[in-house]
Structure formats: C-alpha cells, structure tokens
Amino acid sequence: MKRFAGFGLALAVAILTMGTAQAEDNGVVEIGYFNWSDALFTSHVAKYIIENKMDKKVEMTKADPAAVYQAVQSGDLDFHTDAWLPDTHSDYYDKVAKDVISLGPVYTHARLGWAVPSYVPKDKLNSIEDLKDPEVRDKLDGKIIGIGPGAGLTRLSKKAMDEYGLKDAGYNLVISSGSGMTAATKRAISKDEWIVATSWSPHWMFGRWDLRYLKDPKGVLGSIERADIIAREGFYREFPDVYEMLDRMTIPIADVQVGMDVGEKEDYDAAAKQYVQNHEKLVNFWITGDM
C-alpha cells in the first residue's frame, strides 16, 4: 500500500530541480503520476485521450506523492490524477492547496477494508464482529492476511484487531506485503478456502475476483474517499480544452479496477486504449461536452 509510504526525498529534489523551465508555456502537457495501479490507469487514460483524440504532445513523470504534489504546485508539472481526499492525502494536499486547482474526482468510493471472497456465506461472516465466532476462526486458521509493516492500512488493521478484541479471540495479523496479500488471496480462491485480506479500493484484484468487504461497525478502517485531479495554476489558460476534458472525466470505480487488472496483466497503455475504445461516446462527452 505505497500511498502510505514515505515522501521519497531524493525524488522530490530531482523533480523540483528539473531546471528553470516550467510546464507552463512549453506546449507539452506534462502529467505527474505515482507508481500505483490506480494512478497508472487513470493517468494513462488521460494521456491516451490527449495524444490520440486531442492531438497534443504528452510527457509523463513518475515520482513519489510529495514530489508530484510539489511539482504541480511549482508549475513543473501540469496535473496529476490521484489526490486521495479528504483524508489519505490531506498532508500532501494541505501544503499546496492555495496554489493548485482541483478539477474534482476522477473516481469516487475509494476505501480501505478487510475483504473476503464472495463465496464465504454472509450468514456466517459479514462483519468484523463475526470473526469472533470460534467456527469462523477455525475456517480462517486464526489469520488476517495483511500487507507491509509501514502501511497506513496495517496501522489501522492493528487498531481494528484491538478494537474488536480479535487477539483475545485467537487471531494473528499476518504482516506480509501487497504482493504477498494478493498471492495468498489467489491461493485461497483457487481452493475455495476462506480468507480475510486487508485491502483497498480501487485494486486490480476486485476486477479479477468476486470479493466483498466485511462491515466495520466501529468505523476503525475509515470511510469512503475520492481521487481528485489536481492541476497547476495557469493550466487552463494554456490548455483550456484539456482542462475542460479533465473537468468532465469521471470513471466508475468498478471500471477503474477492471482497467487496473488489464494493466497488470498486459500494460497500462493497452489498458487505456482498450477503455477509450470501449467508451467512445463517454470520451467524446469528456472532450466536447456534447451528450
């Protein structure tokens, strides 16, 4: 869950010292992005449209979140598509908010949670509270499959273990990694076994497998968020058509997850092309404003 990792000072310095030339007035649309599947998909969709439907040059720069936010603020980059608000990226956003423009969400209903395969019966396991049933614990071998030790989701999952009394009920939060969590989920599903995995949406595995979140009646794991497109000041004056396209661009989170799955299986250029070609009328509305 890299969105909760450190700032990446070296990358921040690299972007912010790219030279005196800013994105403004160079005639090229410059997109910043993070190396997360959701950001890869949404930014590549924007890139594909701007290049292939609007006939403009695009350059993309990958860096850690702090560096991308600061580069949009300074004008070294034109925009990015993955500002998780109001909570997850609040530290990044609050530092630049007065100097950037939000074009609204590219997708909504982002969230953190504990996921189970949909074949797990709801009458047996539908809430985190249900995990305290000894029969459920035995089916899960007393394990909640986690991700990396430094992730915000891991911190919140440890809190959930305490708040719901799961340690006393015989559970262990297994610290792993993002890839370790998805590998464990894949193994369990291949055998129709029960599993509880700490997860988040959008995630490509929701596009690949039929999963659902357990209810969190105590609200320990947080509430829903959105991913806003954030642009530099002055971007509208240079690229009004691109600005207006981005302002209209919204993708249902289920489609984001399918696109992420395609991107993971193939590549994100292919995922973006496939999405745009399969949604020509929608993309035309983003570009022209005509229904």
Q: What is the pLDDT of residues 252-262, one digit of tens each?
A: 999 999 999 99
Per the omega criterion (within 30 degrees of 0), is the bond before 134 cis? no
Question: Does 249 reside within a domain?
Answer: yes
100 and 114 in one domain? no
Question: Does 254 reside within a domain?
Answer: yes
Task: Give the residue from 169, 184, 213 where a domain finishes.
Answer: 213
36 and 180 in one domain? no
231 and 139 in one domain? no
pLDDT in tens, 79-100: 999 999 998 888 899 999 999 9
Rounded to whole angstroms, the Cα distance separating 83 from 225 reads 10
Strand pairing class (143-145; 225-232):
unpaired
Q: First and final CA of the chain: distance in angstroms? A: 37
Task: Give the residue from 213, 246, 279 where a domain finishes.
Answer: 213
Rounded to whole angstroms, the Cα distance separating 138 from 125 reads 12
258 and 199 in one domain? no
For 181, the enclosing helix (H) or strand (E) is helix 178-190
3-state secondary structure of 229: strand
- Among the listed residues 146, 194, 213, the one whose alpha carbon sits nearest the alpha carbon of residue 174: 146
Question: Does 253 reside within a domain?
Answer: yes
Confidence band for 24, pLDDT divided at 50, 70 and 90? low
138 and 76 in one domain? no
**Domain interval for residue 73:** 2-109+224-288
pTM score, two decimals? Answer: 0.83
Share of the chain above pLDDT 90, in %: 83
44 and 15 in one domain? yes
Q: Is residue 181 predicted with pLDDT exceeding 60?
A: yes
100 and 73 in one domain? yes
248 and 177 in one domain? no
Task: Supply the CATH number for residue 145's domain.
Answer: 3.40.190.100
Q: Is residue 9 predicted with pLDDT exceeding 50?
A: no
CA atoms within 13 A of residue 153's CA, in its CB half-sphere: 24
93 and 56 in one domain? yes
Task: Give the residue from 213, 241, 276 where a domain finishes.
Answer: 213
Q: What domain count does the chain have?
A: 2
